[in-house]
Structure 1
Amino acid sequence: MMDSASPDAHDEQPLLDLVANGLGMALMVWDRQDRLLFAARAVLGIFPIAPSFIERGTRLRDFLGALYDAGVGVGTQFENTRRRTGREEWISTRLSLHWRERFESVEQLSRRSWINISKRRLSNGIGLVLITDLTSQKLHEEEMQLDRERIELTERILDDLPNAVCVKDRDLNYVAVNKAFCAMHGMAANAILGRSVWDLVDADFAERYELSDREVLETGVLHTNAQQIVMADGEDLWAIVHKFRVGSPADALLVTYFSDVTQVVTGFGIAGEGEGPLGVVPHADVSRFEPGQSLYDPFRALDMTRIVDAPAMGLPGDAGGSYRLRVVLVTPCPAIEQRFFSALTELSCDVGIVASFDQLKALEAALGESGLTPNLLLFDESLGTPPAGLFVGLPQLPVSLAISAEDLAAQIMTVGLSMQTDLDGEFGLGAGAAGTQPAAESPIDVLVAEDNDINQIVFAQILDGLGLSFKIATNGEEAVALWRTHRPKLVLMDLAMPVMSGRPAIRAIRDAEAEEGRAATPIVVVTTQAADMEDSEMETLAIGARLMKPVSPERVEALYHRFVQAEDQAGQAL
């Protein structure tokens, strides 16, 4: 219908231009002889050619020649090549593309100009060319790419910083953290982002931190304080914490920067004249450092290989001079039998396996006649609870394939410790005999006063790993008795204990030392709250040092070195 000129052709031009502008594109229509039927005026805004080349009746070859002469390559995807295509070759290639049923490409006309060309050849031979300006979209994509590159560069810079950095939004949720901050918490970034400080630290610390966070966001005033933080790996971090607001108050972000001054405070162990134990710089006023969060998790750091490789618990009177846990496993499942028999054997346990509770009853009778008594009963949870009356008073634990060998080892360690305490009383070894067993009246390295069974496990593993002899008391009264008997070089005293708490126990030890004219034993208060050390009397009776829970091997070793080994070296020098 558009092969010949219409009397209203000149009236159709403005209408078609209006439609093309409304669609946001430049439209060109070619007839079967490749002559121009219509071209929107917007084409001149895209291609730097004379208006005569978009007049009705213009040949497609002439239009393409004008584009080539203007230095514009269209019709094919942009090519980065040094080869200069000849004019006729270029025009012939584009003519063939115009006769494809469908063709579409994105062309870059200049450094900051892009278009999309979509061509359609209808069944009647009419060719439609739709040209869309993509410059704004491409420039926006370039800006986004630059922004992404800047963000990646900023993240790389933050991650390479040796000091921890975190960023929170107005709701005080973490929106950015660097590698040092993740290492401080022992968590991956995706486990921290989107969460708040309440999810990461104890409530008392979280409340304090949030109070200063909101004050900085509201006032914009820099907040600075000194903190002693126990990191996830158990190491102490002495840091100056800076909090400041960035952005406008409406969309502000809170940035927290932890400036590590550990080397300044501790002297990094550099020996030199005038320096104290552990190379502590004498002029470093550590009293200005308030206790910060303790991120150390003793169970996450628990070395299960050391538990598995630990020797059998030594008790007198047993064959071979050692006591082995006797464990009975009840299961009809070969997979459970194989997994836990191997794990129990590695734990130096004697293992007996039966397939049912009926066989267990017969085994109990046989063991009763032989005089042997098991220490632990493990039963397949698919069998249900063992019948009443079987192995009365024996610790019983359900097992399944869902329980790992490591989890079983941890449970057995806990049960084994409580049994060890009972067996110590039976054999007359005295309270708190877990760990290295020195001869009676012989001095020991460390006395621990701790009533929590789990904390006792942690202390026992740490001290054993450090190669120190030790005793564990479950209350202050036992602690004083063990102190009199074994004269420890260092006492780690929990303040909250039954029978006698830590405060009267410390006073009793100090009174006994005064009566005997003995030198004061270093006593370190073990606490979960900084307020426990605000008691000036305790600071005087103890040594002014504290060990925050959960404890870490590095912190215990540092305290022992500071208060015991350093004094021993000073005494030898005299």
Structure 2
Amino acid sequence: MVSGGADATMQTTMLDAVSEALSVAFVVYDRNDQLIYASRLIRNYFPIPAEFLSPGTRLRDYLGALYDAGWRDAATAGKGEIVQSREEWIAEHIAAHWRERSEVQQLDGRNRWTRYSKRRLPSGFGVCVITDITDQKKREEQWRADMERVQLTEEILDNLPQPVFVQDRNLAMVAVNKAFCAWMEISADSILGGTLASAFADEVAGRLQGVTRHILETGTPSAVSVDLPAGAAGIRRVVLRSQRVGKPGRYFIVTSFDDVAAVGSETAPGAPLGPALPLLPENDPVRPAIPAANIGRKALLITGNVEFESKALKTLQRLGIDACAVRDPGEQEAFLSVARSVGVVIDLVIVDTDMDVKCLEIAETFGTATITLDGFQLDTELAFLVMERLAGLDPDGAADDWEISTSEPQAATPVATAPLVLVAEDNEINQIVFSQILEGLGYSYRIAADGEEVVKLWLELQPDIVLMDITLPRLNGFEASRRIRELGLSSARATPIVGVLVQAFERDREECFAAGMDDVILKPLSPDAVEAVLSRVAPALKGVSAG
């Protein structure tokens, strides 16, 4: 008897160790349906009294305790919706335990998924193994959600009218839309997984690769002009706009074709391409003439870097813009104050990204348009950014030089431009949705992926409206809105801010308004909902966007 008891204890100890090592609970019963062993983990799943788990307990009594404890749906074959009496429920489960094998998955009241695997051995002994598969189910749900997001993204991209391609952080092409394939006369299968060189000529691919690496590192959007073959039309000048989307470790670069203008195959080298196109870098073989609209424009450069200053001033001179440079915020404020006092209008302030953000705040105080750029953009994008920014400004009517004048600036004729919407959104899918909706409504837009960036772009661009997601990295949407309102105290016009919420919690609405927002909109987004909220907060812009 002692020997038999010791053996039983040893077996129980070993079974407990196996149960805990495998993180599974199991019950063993004999051919007479009496429990031989129940692991200690059983009570993690079924809170029944310990006496019903002791050896010798009838399987019927064990199941009755489960029923009484409220676990009527435990280990059922999906029949929990059927109302059964206690005896019917016990009889059905005893029958299930006598099958050679059965398996069922169950979601309990604590949102835990459990698998019940039952086996009846030829000897008549039975085993029921209980496993927590919650993590597995979550992975399956995440996989399905990811697949749905991929399909949604593909549908959105394919319905965009402009060509779009997407690169991952290794610069591999991971998505292209139908418009891109049609433009490039290439199939998706021949380019996906490849590099830029699989779609573009070597010179263009090399240039775009450098731009893409810079965007990945800095997050700064880019716009570069390139010449691409266009079938019988010859060559077309295309502006490629790129921006970084996603989160650290999962960044993607989305590039779309924009501002497309035909350059016929008969065009003579060096002929102007029209005023709507940006000037090219100095070493470009095709250099357009200086647009007449630039004559008399004035720009102020702010940088402490001598080389940066030299390159920028040279490019501005080639653009036909009068420009000079200052070295710090103090000099900038003094210069703009003097210029205002004598009636000289500064059209544009260009700020080196290495300078203090105060430079942007000062420009905002004086109501001057701004752009920011770093050393890489200085070499590749300065001309384009300046031309794009000046295109939306009215002629100032000031004298063609920097002489002191007492005459008042002449009133300018307003130029209708598409209203600019600044979108604060860090989710890559929602960024694409916003882009599609705003383009369809006739608005121009810029996207910021975090709260710090949206404040910076607000200072730089002075948008007409801000759509502010509240869950942003670095600064959340509430904090970013408060910063914008604080910085805009000296401005005569307060930018409307619309909070973008996932759910209509009253506390979120209240916090949006407390942070200085004017309205809220709920996800999922639709063109009608976006148009309605923009019409509410800025009705004067509706006609401009429609035009």
**Do the two structures share a fold, i.e. TM-score over 0.5?**
no
User: Which interval holds the TM-score relative to the shorter structure?
Assistant: 0.3 to 0.5
